[in-house]
Structure 1
């Protein structure tokens, strides 16, 4: 039986440094970072996305993650977001989430989550939609609720620049130390 890698998910609202932290952590620990599938999917989408697009993103994120599992060095991988983002967006945009996504949430848990705080300045990006401070606060609260509902083990990561990475690395080191002993 093949061992599954420890999966640490980097999640949170838009423009909170998820991709950068995921890449930095993977580099520091000498392993793989699973990129956010939706960025590539939506890059050339020249229309409003639909519920079907969200399902496509869900399946794409899972497939991308599976395809990179063999490259997890020392049994560790970092995931730049997860398909839980699909639930967050589906609930917000469409008022509900397809059952196939909901049913997979509990069975496809990540070992540990780093929830990126909204303390970074907003960076405009054509794939981002919610720059207003109250929207960022709203989505941070949604993430906290979703992670709590999953009974997920998570830590909120704050700080700017190198400080943010240091806090993320310290949280991972502490978590690994508590779970590898």
Structure 2
């Protein structure tokens, strides 16, 4: 875990294979934290906004633009939050580039800073697959999970894994956050 800087929000990375419940967790968790009086923000996956008005084509330039857009969205959300729940990070772009293009570009690697997050939550793909135009690996989610685990370990990140039903995932994630909340 990283040391929080005064005046900066607690940054939480929520990562994992496609259709593993990241967006649902981020949205519900932000709602629960706000209901408890916390200033929490959910930063949605930027790839969805990026591809909203263009064809879904995976070029390295697209992946680099998505990574930069994700980071920009996080910076904007920081202004109004004490807890930032990031629905994917540049890690997802790195893995996506390696899967689709066999490597991550130098420009993408320059944006990849996994240590910027005080907590990393890794969602297991133990829930039913939900088809989506941006998803393409329904039979390879366990393989993708292992790619996430290996990269997090290589980067020295001790991720908290969440699995099971929504409430179990939320409870596990909240429990992992508690030590970072200073009242």
Answer yes or no: same fold by TM over 0.5: yes
Could you tell me which residue of structure 2 aligns to residue 63 of structure 1?
Answer: 72
Q: Equivalents in 2 of 1:107, 1:47: separation in Å?
A: 26
Q: Report Cα offsets for 1:138-163 as digits up to 9, x if no partner.
A: 10000001111111131110111322
Q: Equivalents in 1 of 2:10, 2:169: separation in Å?
A: 22
Could you tell me which residue of structure 1 aligns to residue 22 of structure 2?
Answer: 18
Q: Equivalents in 1 of 2:162, 2:6: separation in Å?
A: 32
Please report the RMSD computed on the Cα atoms of aligned residues, expressed in angstroms. Answer: 2.0
Could you tell me which residue of structure 2 aligns to residue 80 of structure 1?
Answer: 87
The yes-or-no answer on 1:114 pairing with 2:121 is yes
The yes-or-no answer on 1:91 pairing with 2:98 is yes
Gaps of 5+ in 2: 35-39
Question: Does structure 2 retain, via aligned residues, the 8 Å contact 1:159–1:167?
Answer: no
Question: Does structure 2 retain, via aligned residues, the 8 Å contact 1:43–1:127?
Answer: no
Give, in angstroms, the shift of residue 47 of structure 1.
4.7
Q: Equivalents in 2 of 1:156, 1:51: separation in Å?
A: 29
Q: Equivalents in 1 of 2:158, 2:10: separation in Å?
A: 13
The yes-or-no answer on 1:45 pairing with 2:49 is no
Question: Does structure 2 retain, via aligned residues, the 8 Å contact 1:12–1:117?
Answer: yes
Question: Does structure 1 retain, via aligned residues, the 8 Å contact 2:152–2:159?
Answer: yes
When the two structures are superposed, what TM-score results if normalisation uses the length of structure 1?
A: 0.88
Q: Report Cα offsets for 1:98-140 as digits up to 9, x if no partner.
A: 11221332476211111001111111111111111xx111100
What does 1:29-40 align with in structure 2 at a 5 Å threshold?
A: 29-30=33-34, 31-40=40-49
The answer to which of 123-132 and 44-53 deviates more is 44-53
Please point out which of 150, 156, 162 is paired with 1:145.
150
SS at match of 2:112: helix
Q: Report Cα offsets for 1:15-69 as digits up to 9, x if no partner.
A: 0110111111111122111111001112333252211111110111111111110
Structure with greater helix share of residues: 1
When the two structures are superposed, what TM-score results if normalisation uses the length of structure 2?
A: 0.87
Gaps of 5+ in 1: none
Residues 37 and 164 (structure 1 numbering): CA distance in 2 closer, same or farther, change over 3 Å?
Answer: same
The yes-or-no answer on 1:167 pairing with 2:172 is yes
Please point out which of 2, 7, 11 is paired with 1:7.
11
